[in-house]
Amino acid sequence: MTFDAFDIKSLIRPVIDFPRPGVIFRDITPLFQSPKAMRLVADTFIHRYVEAEFSHIGAMDARGFLIGSIIAYQLNKPLILFRKQGKLPADVLSEGYQTEYGEAFLEVHADSLCEGDSVLMFDDLIATGGTLIAAANLARRMGARIFEAAAIIDLPELGGSQRLEDMGIATFCLTQFGLAER
């Protein structure tokens, strides 16, 4: 099975004017409804990272959990959950960040990572980079370093990948969309 970005893009549904007018939301649920496409996405990430040197996988709430958990299982790595505020039961570290729609907070259990750990971070898409930057800041506060930030989709016009690169965090995405692309 060969990766084809066009095939993947054709299974990402554009939802016009969601969550507010003027926004095109990139809905990955059709991608997950196709066993062939889901296997292709997972296998592509697994192939990229199977021999890479990192200790943990970090997954962003909530769609990042979908791909992050599959990759953690396949690569036999511990999975760290970066959650929206108020979702974790134990002691947490919290980091505020800006989204396309306002301010939000990301949390992680304070004992999730240690000095010297290396984290491969997953989310469904990179837009402004706010969620992944907040996760990177949280991981670094625990002494870990970021191996790479990975996503299915990049929206390069919003600058998130560039912001991550400017922080010294490499990024990898399977496909990208222009803001007006349907």
- Per-residue pLDDT band at 57 (split at 50, 70, 90): very high
Omega within 30 of 0 (cis) for the link into 19: yes
Using an 8 Å Cβ cutoff, are 148 and 126 in contact? Answer: no
Report which secondary-structure segment, H or E, holds 110. Answer: none
The pLDDT score that the predictor gives to residue 2 is 63
Q: For residues 28 and 14, what is the distance between their CA atoms, to the nearest angstrom?
A: 9
Q: For residues 87 and 108, what is the distance between their CA atoms, to the nearest angstrom?
A: 9
Report which secondary-structure segment, H or E, holds 47. Answer: helix 35-49
Using an 8 Å Cβ cutoff, are 119 and 57 in contact? Answer: yes
Cα dihedral 120, 5, 157, 103 sign: negative
The pLDDT score that the predictor gives to residue 6 is 62
Residue 75 DSSP SS3: helix
Report which secondary-structure segment, H or E, holds 76. Answer: none
Average pLDDT rounded to a whole number, residues 57-82: 98
Tens of pLDDT, residues 122-170? 999 999 999 999 999 999 999 999 999 999 999 999 999 999 999 999 9
Q: For residues 132 and 64, what is the distance between their CA atoms, to the nearest angstrom?
A: 10
Least trusted range by pLDDT, from 7-11, 49-53, 149-153, 156-160: 7-11
Using an 8 Å Cβ cutoff, are 65 and 87 in contact? Answer: no
Which of 3, 1, 5 minimizes the C-alpha distance to 177?
5
Token pair for 174: 């399977």
Average pLDDT rounded to a whole number, residues 5-21: 89
Q: Taking 80 as the threshold, does the pLDDT of residue 100 lie above it?
A: no
The pLDDT score that the predictor gives to residue 148 is 98
